[in-house]
Every structure is written in structure tokens, then in C-alpha cells.
């Protein structure tokens, strides 16, 4: 049976997921991995880590580019890849 989690922790994870454009489950996994790396096991520590990750994600999104512009930039072909063919 799944354990009940703190509503504010889930809200922070949801905001993190929205900011990073990932699922809530992926955001919770990201927080869990960061908690494991730092040795934190208590719910308050996980919440603090989630808040730190959210602050980092928000600071990265403060740039001038929107997520659509960032995606367009990632999809642009490099000069050495322009004539690459997948099929003959």
C-alpha cells in the first residue's frame, strides 16, 4: 500500500515537473535520487531538496528564451550534420 505524502511536498514536485516539462513521477524520482545522493531520508529533508531543485530550475528558466525557442534551437542541424541521410 502506498504511503500518504505531504501535500506541500507533492505540490513542490508538481511545480518542479511543470518547470522542467517532465511528469510528476519523474520529478519525484529526481528528488528521490538527489535525496539518496545526499543521504537524506526524512520527509522534511526531501521537501528541502525538492525546494532547492525547484529554485534551480526556476533560475535556469529565467533566461530570455522560452521553452519553444530552446526546443527549436536543439532541433537545428549542425553544419557537419546537414547532409546526413538515414536511408539510401
Number of domains present in the structure of the chain: 1
To the nearest whole percent, how much of the chain has pLDDT over 90? 45
Query: In terms of residue numbers, what domain contains 7?
Result: 1-62
Answer whether residue 54 is part of any domain: yes
72 within some domain: no
**pLDDT tens digits, residue range 27-53?**
999 999 999 999 998 989 999 999 999
Phi, psi of 13 (to 5 degrees): -65, -40
Residue 29 included in any domain: yes
Whose CA is closest to 46, among 2, 67, 16?
Answer: 16
Whether the pLDDT of residue 88 is over 60: the answer is: no
Amino acid at each position: 500500500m502506498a504511503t500518504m505524502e505531504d501535500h506541500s511536498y507533492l505540490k513542490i514536485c508538481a511545480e518542479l515537473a511543470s518547470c522542467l516539462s517532465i511528469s510528476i513521477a519523474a520529478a519525484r524520482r529526481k528528488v528521490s535520487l538527489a535525496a539518496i545522493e545526499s543521504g537524506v531520508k526524512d520527509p522534511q529533508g526531501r521537501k528541502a531538496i525538492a525546494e532547492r531543485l525547484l529554485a534551480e530550475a526556476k533560475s535556469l528558466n529565467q533566461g530570455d528564451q522560452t521553452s519553444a525557442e530552446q526546443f527549436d534551437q536543439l532541433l537545428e542541424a549542425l553544419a557537419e550534420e546537414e547532409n546526413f541521410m538515414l536511408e539510401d
